Amino acid sequence: MTRSRYTAGGALATALLMTPALLFGASPAAAAETDSPINVGADGSVATDPAYDGPQITEIRVINEQKYLEIYWDRYVDEIEAVSPSNITLTNGDETVALTPKPASGRTDTIFFDQNNKQMAATDANSMERLPDDLHLASIAYTGTIDMSKPLTLTVTGSAIVDEQGRQAKDAVYTDVPKLDYYTQSVTTETGIVVKANARVAPETLTLAAEQVDVELAKTETGIAQQMADFGCSLAVYASRENAYLIPEHRGGYDPEMYDVEGYGGSTYNNCVSSISERNVLRTRGNADPFLNTSYPNENILIHEFGHAVRLVGIETMDDTTLSDEFYAAYENAYLTGLWPNTYAIGNSDEFFATLSAIWFNVMAEKPDWSDGVRSPINTRAELKEYDPTSYAFFEKIYPADLTLPAPWDEPAPDEYHGDYTELPEQEPRVSATDVEFGRDLFRISTQTVSGDFQIDRFAGDANHPDRDVCVWFTWGDGVWSIDYDNGLYTISASDGSGVLSAISDTEVRYAGIEADATDDAQKWRLSPDTSTPDAPFDGQLINEANGRALTLSDRAATGVSLTLGTADEGTRWMLEDTTRTEAQGTAAYITPVTVTLTPRAQDAEAEPAATRATGVHAAAAAQDAVTIDVAQQGFTLPDITDVFGADWSRDGYTFSGWRVVSDDSILPADWVIPDGTTALSLEAVWEPASVTPPTTDPAEPGDADGADEGTSPGNAADPASDAAGELPRTGADIAGTVAAAVLALMAGAGLMLMRRRNSAGNRQ
């Protein structure tokens, strides 16, 4: 206790002693001082201090190929703090460059490349495990533009960045940061393709890769090679101890869960850059360092990945669609006839093209049967001709049949197994999403085609329509949309808050920069179920509420195809997958669109007027019309009879008992849910006559002697109305007794006459 009091007293005394200094503007002695600015070399190098034992920066640059700031350290440092904009500030002249923060989880554009990256090590993929010991790269994405005519300066709060021993880096300012090429060497193939790499790749590897590209593109009369060269297609080779995600064009959207691949395909959306690992180019096998060996000793990944660019750039961008149409017909034939079952190839048209490219050059691995899910017994050109002659005929038009790949890929993959088996593709299991939270869950908007499933993504990927900011891509990752729902209408917003999907005309849609407006029907969409596909209960057309036009692909489904608006019969069939619920339920979980018809009276009541189709919250034209509306199974509740989508259906003289399904007498409970698998449903209101209470006799009614006006005799009261009409005056007397007596007399007389007739008849007998 004494020590605590002493410490507190000492702190107070220190504060009091410091007060005059603070008032007079002196700096506290404990404040850290920043060293003089450090000049960055023209090559990005930074001089280090050999006397300092804390972490130090060795190189800084902004790269030309993509928007990344690269900061190289001399060791592993805190992977979160090293890329945090809180600790890193980049200024361009007087302007601060906007750096992209790294999210706590999921895909990211900003990442720390290091074999000791703890986030990556915690995943099954651990895609950074192979990185070299001397690579410690903070790769930070930025937005906007950099003007290199103005100075580029980096300020680092090093005290927040520590190594594994807890030693801090220095607070420092780095001036004259250069903008440099990531690739430092390249060769150009005879067919016009640039093969490039950084300094970690051996020059002879580039030469070998270029030779493989020239064999793949040798049939120049097709125009494919020239088309690719015109688009600036290139092949990036990365070192055996690097991973594909270091390639600038493939760095964006880094998925920590994605395994360590040996290459990626090129397309117009990534500057037509394909990538390949040096270890596969060299076909390295049996090295003592396992990270130097290819994982695919019998599979040429260059032919496969560069094959993606052959199709997506070399063929699909041609004005003449002949080759594109022929390929699509070959794939469709294979899909619909059950060829290539349980293989990677049949999954979508892109992988079909790339896989069969490797088979054409006899550099595809095989499996003994058709149960692998990736490979099959068919892995050579000769087997392709026999098993799938339609596809063989197409590839014969674009690839050479008389050339062999250079060593070490001149040795074909082993071919021990053969087979001829077909089986129609098994569809992905899909279920209705449960416990959906509109406005909070993430959604994927996708369409199912013969070429595979494509999702709507938030970027401009259509070279023919660069002004459009949404296109489709093969399904990947989690959803990128947030959806709000209200009475049959969906508002589709970017999950990062960057805009709302809206119709901006009768043909165009956009999302970026459009602010949410609950009164704007152009931002609202109705998912109308496609009843022609009962085996696919989750698909439907997205109809814009403002113009009634349907969201549709502008071309045949393929990567990068943009979206437009067309007539309802032209609309693409879309599915809304709640990826948040998919993760929770363990199976792809979807919103179920249902067309519901509500009828105000049961069918056994009087005839109903014709149904009026409501769109969203707009009610039927007349208050008592039947109404048909497209709803989400997960968002539908039985309406109150006084507010049926805006109309009051209550009836005088009747009590509303509830709703029932047409042809079913059971009244539905208030918490009733539309059954799974339902695409259309008719409900009708059930009524009961309101109970009527008999009227009671009022003692003050006229004609009651006890209730007559005081001082007036009922027998003498005159009727002014009768007098005015010239009628005989009413006496006010009660004649009911007289009438009753007359009736009784008549009945008695009739009875006597009947008796006399019977007596007469008896006498005659």
Cβ-in-10-Å burial (0-12, 13-18, 19+) of 553 comes to buried
pLDDT single digits (tens) 199-215: 999 999 999 999 999 99
Distance separating alpha carbons of residues 428 and 171, to the nearest angstrom: 53
**C-alpha closest to that of 251 among 175, 153, 343, 139:** 139
The pLDDT of residue 204 is: 98
Cβ(275)–Cβ(309) below 8 Å? no
Please state which CATH class domain 38-180 belongs to: mainly beta
pLDDT surpasses 50 at 687: yes
Task: Indicate the pLDDT class of residue 617, thresholds 50, 70 and 90.
Answer: very low
pLDDT surpasses 90 at 503: yes
Of 314-323, 578-587, 622-631, the range with the lowest mean pLDDT is 622-631
**% of the chain surpassing 70 pLDDT:** 82
Distance separating alpha carbons of residues 537 and 9, to the nearest angstrom: 75
Of 11-15, 310-314, 315-319, 663-667, the range with the lowest mean pLDDT is 11-15
Identify which has the larger pLDDT, 647 or 171: 171
DSSP state of 474: E
pLDDT single digits (tens) 390-436: 999 999 999 999 999 999 999 999 999 998 999 988 778 999 999 99
Residue with tokens 């520590």: 162
pLDDT surpasses 50 at 329: yes
pLDDT single digits (tens) 233-280: 999 999 999 999 999 999 999 999 999 999 999 998 899 999 999 999
Token digits of residue 76: 């592993």
**% of the chain surpassing 90 pLDDT:** 73
Q: Which CATH architecture has domain 185-398?
A: 3-Layer(aba) Sandwich (3.40)
Identify which has the larger pLDDT, 481 or 726: 481
The pLDDT of residue 698 is: 56
H or E segment and range at residue 4: helix 2-23
Q: For the chain, which residues make up each domain, given as ranges?
A: 38-180, 185-398, 430-590, 593-689
pLDDT surpasses 50 at 713: no
pLDDT surpasses 90 at 663: no
SS3 letters across 558-587: CCCCEEEEECHHHCCCEEEEEHHHHHHHCC
Distance separating alpha carbons of residues 110 and 245, to the nearest angstrom: 11
CATH no. for 430-590: 2.80.10.50
pLDDT single digits (tens) 67-102: 999 999 999 999 999 999 999 999 999 999 999 999
The pLDDT of residue 459 is: 81
- Phi and psi dihedrals of 162, rounded to 5? -125, 160
Q: What is the mean pLDDT of residues 206-225?
A: 98
User: Measured on CA atoms in the order 702, 704, 709, 715, is the torsion positive or negative?
Assistant: positive
pLDDT surpasses 90 at 616: no
Q: How many CA atoms lie within 13 A of 616 on its CB side?
A: 21
Q: What is the mean pLDDT of residues 103-116?
A: 96
Q: What is the mean pLDDT of residues 8-12?
A: 37
pLDDT surpasses 50 at 16: no
Inter-axis angle of helices 322-336 and 389-398, nearest 10: 160
Mean pLDDT score of the chain, rounded to an integer? 86
Of 30-39, 502-511, 707-716, the range with the lowest mean pLDDT is 707-716
Residues 6 or more apart in contact with residue 761 via CB below 8 angstroms: none
Identify which has the larger pLDDT, 419 or 292: 292
Task: Indicate the pLDDT class of residue 569, thresholds 50, 70 and 90.
Answer: confident
Token digits of residue 25: 């503007």
The pLDDT of residue 697 is: 56
Token digits of residue 242: 């690097």
Q: How many CA atoms lie within 13 A of 657 on its CB side?
A: 14
Cβ(594)–Cβ(630) below 8 Å? yes
The pLDDT of residue 396 is: 98
Q: What is the mean pLDDT of residues 351-358?
A: 98
Identify which has the larger pLDDT, 762 or 437: 437
The pLDDT of residue 10 is: 39
User: Strands, DSSP E only, in 176-251?
Assistant: 179-180, 185-188, 194-197, 234-238
